[in-house]
Amino acid sequence: MSLVLRNILRRCPSAIITQSSLRFWSSNGQFPSHPMDTEEYENQPRKSITELPDELTERGTQPKFISGYETTKDEWEWVDNVLFKSAIPEPPDHPTPSGWFPPNPTLARQWPYFVDRDRFHSYALYVRILPVMLEYWLHEQHRYYLNIFRRRVEYDIYAQRTRRFSLLELISGDIWALDNDLKHYLTKRIELSHDKSKELPVLSQVDEIKRHILVDGEYEEWIADFLKEKGF
């Protein structure tokens, strides 16, 4: 509808519009897109079910044959086996063949910090792949928001390395002391391993509000060993 007509309509009182024989508005296309919400459709007279023969009903086939049935409770244990149960079972007290260790509270009490486990009794250690601002040139910076919501980029072209972090969550107590100890441990491990891809110094970010530490690089196995040594 044109702007002129729209403004005219806004200023006319609605009584004139409904009474007038002229119709200012019309559908955009030549045929209606869907008849569903029109008045004529909703208020049409409906035929009673007794008048219609079988061929004209929409749902085609009627069930022509229904058999008898019997009810049993015998196989209910197999159904129970398959249903989802939200209860998380208690873990064992001993170390297991898959490499899982229970926490050691006597050893963990001596440190000024504490790292809790998640509800499935594993370490709260995760990998994070953060997005990178793809273009740094001035004339492309207005497209910053577009690039941020695209797929996350693993490789940082300008820094020439993968941009992966290890995240350690659920920390309570003195986070800075834990950060210090963690960095010492990781630098010692790097020196022992003589791995050229791992750079010194180890960089980390501490967030006191979210109770997490973000370490630059993929150090998950070593951080897990560190937590095992401390008894968390």
Partner 1 sequence: MPIERGLQYLRQMQRVTLKNLPMPLEKTEKWKREHPDENTMKTIMSKKGPISRSALPPYGIDPIQAEGRLPWILTVPKEPYYEGVEEARQYLPISLRTLQRLIDLRRINPARPIDLPVLCNTKLFSIQPDQRQFGLQLTDEGADLFSTPINLEIQWVSSELATAAIERCGGILTTRYFDPVSLSALIDAKKFFERGEPIPRCDTPPLNAIEYYTDPKQRGYLANPDLIREERQRLAQKYGYKLPDASNFSPMFHLRKDPRQIFFGLAPGWLVNLKDQTILKPKDNKFETFYHS
List residues binding partner 1 (CB under 8 A).
Answer: 30-32, 35, 38, 40-41, 44, 46-47, 49-54, 56-59, 62-63, 65, 67-79, 81-85, 88-92, 96-100, 120-121
Cβ closer to partner 1: 35 or 173?
35
Cβ closer to partner 1: 13 or 89?
89
What whole-number distance in Å separates Cα of residue 227 and Cα of residue 68? 63
What whole-number distance in Å separates Cα of residue 62 and Cα of residue 199? 73
What whole-number distance in Å separates Cα of residue 167 and Cα of residue 213? 6
Output the CA torsion 39→42→48→54 (10° steps).
120
State both tokens at 176.
Answer: 């800075």
Query: Shortest approach of partner 1 to residue 119 CB, angstroms?
Result: 11
Query: Which residues lie closer than 8 Å to 214 by C-beta, 6 or more apart?
Result: 128, 165, 166, 167, 204, 205, 207
Query: Shortest approach of partner 1 to residue 106 CB, angstroms?
Result: 22
Cβ closer to partner 1: 61 or 160?
61
Query: Shortest approach of partner 1 to residue 212 CB, angstroms?
Result: 23
Query: Shortest approach of partner 1 to residue 52 CB, angstroms?
Result: 7
Cβ closer to partner 1: 120 or 137?
120
State both tokens at 226.
Answer: 């560190």
Q: How distant, in Å, are the alpha carbons of 31, 72, 84 from that of 77?
A: 59, 12, 13
Query: Shortest approach of partner 1 to residue 178 CB, angstroms?
Result: 26
Cβ closer to partner 1: 13 or 99?
99
Q: What are 161's strand-pairing partners?
A: 156
